[in-house]
Amino acid sequence: MLTSSISVERALDLFSAGNVLCNAGLRQYSRWRTGGVADYLVRPATAQQVADVIAYLHESGIPWVAIGHTSNVLISDAKICGVVLQVTDKLSQILIEDQNVRAQAGVWVPRFAKTVAGKGLAGAEHIIGIPGTIGGLICMNGGSMRRGIGENVVSVRCVDTSGNELLLSQQECCFGYRKSKIQESGLIVTEATFKFSPGDRSILRKQMLEILRSRRKKFPLKLPNCGSVFVSDPAMYQTHGPPGAVIDRCALKGFRIGDAQVSTKHSNFVVNLGNATSDDIISVVKHVRDTCWRLEGVKLQTEVKYLTSECQLVPLHDVLL
C-alpha cells in the first residue's frame, strides 16, 4: 500500500471528487471479471489530467500503469502495488468535419463505428463489434477481418511516461499487424484524428448489422471474456489457419480449469463461467499454448497483456514460461 499522505493529497488535488479510488477492487472493472485490489485507481476526466497525474507520478517515483476498458488485459489476482490510471468514457467526445473524425481515447468503439457510418463515411465498419475504447484500439492497431484501424489514422495525441504531450503522425505510429509504436513505447493515447471515405449510409448499416449477426453466432458474448486470446498472425494463418482452428484440431474446445474454460463456441476465447481467477485463466492459456506447440508445431502468441502486481503490462505469453 502507498503510505505517503503527501502523495495521496497531491493526487487528489489533480482530480475532482470521485475520480480517485483507494484500495480499488479491479475485478469489477475487468472484462474477464478477475483481478486483485489496487492501491489507487485514478480515472481522469480530461486529457490535461492524464498528463498532470502521469507527470506527478513520474516525478514522485510512484509505480503506475495505464489501462482502458481492459478488453485485452488480464489483471493479476495479487495486490497491485501502485496507481492504476484508467482512461474511461469521461474522455468520449467525437467531432466530425467533412471526412475527418476526431475522437477522444475513451470513446466506445461500437459507438464510434456507428457515428462514422451515420455521417456517410466508410472504413470503420469492421470495428463495429469490438468491445473496447479508441485508445486501446489504436495502441494494438485493432480491427477485424485482418484489417487494422491504423489505416485510417491521420494523427494521434499521446502522453509519454514522463507526462509530456506528443502528436504523432500515422507514419510515426509505425502500425503493424496488431501492434504499434504507441504500444511498444508505453504511450497513453488521449485523442486521435482519422480520415474516412464517403459511403452510402444504408449499405454501411447493412454491412455492420451483418458483422454483428456473425459475431453473435460465432463468439461467446454472454460470458466474461477478453476477446481473442491469441494473435491471428497472417503468416501463421496461411500455413495453419486461424488460432481457433489450430486449437480445435488439438481437441481443446471446452478444456477447463476451475471456472476458466476454452469457449465451446469459439476456441480462441477463454471464458469465465462464474468464479474463475486470473491464475485459472493463465493455466488454461498455458495448456492450450503448450499443446498446440507439441501437436501442431505452432507457437501461439497472445494478444492479451498481463497486468502484474508491480504495475507492469507484459505480453501474457511471457508469464507462461
Q: What tens digit of pLDDT does each residue of 168-226 get?
A: 999 999 999 888 999 989 899 999 999 999 999 999 999 999 999 999 999 998 999 99
Report the share of the chain in percent with pLDDT over 70: 94
Residues 233 and 188 in one domain: no
Per the structure, the count of domains in the chain is 3
Residues 60 and 155 in one domain: no
Domain ends where: 51, 86, 121?
Answer: 86
Choice among 76, 228, 267, 278 that is catalytic = 228
Higher pLDDT, 291 or 3: 291
Within a domain: 199: yes
d(CA 264, CA 124): 29
The parent domain of residue 150 ranges over 94-207
- Residue 232's pLDDT is 84
Residues 134 and 195 in one domain: yes
Cell 502522453 belongs to: 159
CATH number at residue 158: 3.30.465.10
Across 255-279, average pLDDT: 97
Classify 191 as helix, strand or coil. Answer: strand
Domain ends where: 173, 207, 241?
Answer: 207
Residues 182 and 279 in one domain: no
Q: Interior CA angle at 176 toward 173 and 182, to 5°?
A: 35
Within a domain: 218: no
Check if 178 is active-site.
Answer: yes
Global confidence as pTM: 0.90
Check if 303 is active-site.
Answer: yes
- Residue 235's pLDDT is 82
- Cβ atoms of residues 161 and 103 within 8 Å: no
Choice among 178, 263, 278, 289 that is catalytic = 178
Residues 116 and 197 in one domain: yes
Check if 228 is active-site.
Answer: yes
DSSP bridge partners of 165: 159
CATH number at residue 58: 3.30.43.10
Q: Mind listing the pLDDT tens digit for each residue in 76-135?
A: 999 999 999 999 999 999 999 999 999 999 999 999 999 999 999 999 999 999 989 999
- pLDDT-derived band of residue 4, with 50, 70 and 90 as boundaries? very low
Most confidently modeled range among 47-56, 143-152, 217-226, 258-267? 258-267
Q: Exposed/middle/buried for 263, CB within 10 Å: 0-12, 13-18, 19+?
A: buried
Residues 82 and 103 in one domain: no
